[in-house]
Amino acid sequence: MPQQLIIFPFGGNGREALVSAIEANKISHQWDILGFVDDNQDTWGKDMAGYKVLGDRSVLEKYPEAKVLAVPGNAQTYLKRQSIIEGLNLKKERFATIISPNAVVSPDAVIGCNTFVMPYVFVACGVSLGNHCIILSHTVIHHDSVVDDYNCIGSSVTISGDVKVEKNCYIGSGTNIKEKIIVGERSLLGLGSNVVSNITPQVTVVGNPARVLKS
């Protein structure tokens, strides 16, 4: 039986999640998509493909059986993602996980709740993706790597084997991370960075090889 689904918020990540949910339904009817919620009143009543913004987060109380995919955040706001998601006050079992039917995920990979894996992502054997993560299109995560909670991984990122990305990081599109690297929590890796040594927590790095821009 299809599961009701609400997506939060009505931003780029949320609208891309809708596309993946629609595509998944073409294979098997997994989701009864109710629409979006967004705290920005300017979005109320807007729609994508006929799915409307129903109102602010209080709408979630009207649909207690609905699963919620909460995918806020970008390079400017990634450090607020945890507090925004926790602010929804939802139990873990209320969250959805959406994996695009065009992604390739190893059968032994572990993917947490409220994680969205976009099209053409490859998740290899032994990989662990935490809760509340977003993995953008065409990213490759190689064997035995660990991506902790609340991480945003941009598009066309290559994470080599045995890498650990600690929580609350943002990895910019086109970044390459060498094998066995540790990326410290709350760090930002700028677009196209080539990471060949461990990254300390709470820094911004850019370049080839990646260097600390600010801490």
Catalytic-residue membership of 142:
no
Domain ranges of the chain: 3-94, 98-205
The number of residues making up the chain comes to: 215
Q: Which two tokens stand for residue 105?
A: 């995920």
Helix %, strand %, coil % of the chain (to 5): 15, 30, 55
C-alpha closest to that of 76 among 164, 172, 9, 10: 172
Alpha-carbon distance of 186 to 83, in angstroms, equals 13
The whole-number average pLDDT for the span 75-100 is: 97
Q: Does domain 98-205 have CATH number 2.160.10.10?
A: yes
The whole-number average pLDDT for the span 194-199 is: 98
pLDDT at 215 over 80: no
**pLDDT single digits (tens) 26-57:** 999 999 999 999 999 999 999 999 999 999 99
% of the chain at pLDDT higher than 70? 100
pLDDT at 214 over 80: no
The one catalytic residue among 29, 132, 138, 143: 143
**pLDDT single digits (tens) 90-132:** 999 999 999 999 999 999 999 999 999 999 999 999 999 999 9
For the structural domain made of 3-94, what CATH number should be given? 3.40.50.720
Within 8 A by CB and 6+ apart from 47, the residues are 35, 53
Q: What is the pLDDT of residue 180?
A: 99
Q: What is the pLDDT of residue 1?
A: 86
Let me know: does 38 contact 54? Beta carbons within 8 Å. no
Within 8 A by CB and 6+ apart from 81, the residues are 72, 73, 132, 150, 152, 168
Q: Mean pLDDT in the chain?
A: 98
Within 8 A by CB and 6+ apart from 148, the residues are 130, 164, 165, 166, 167, 185
pLDDT at 184 over 80: yes
Alpha-carbon distance of 173 to 95, in angstroms, equals 26
The whole-number average pLDDT for the span 126-147 is: 99
- Buried residues in 149-184 as b, exposed as e (16+ CB within 10 A): bbbbbbbebbbbbbbbbbbbbbbbbbbbbbeebbbb
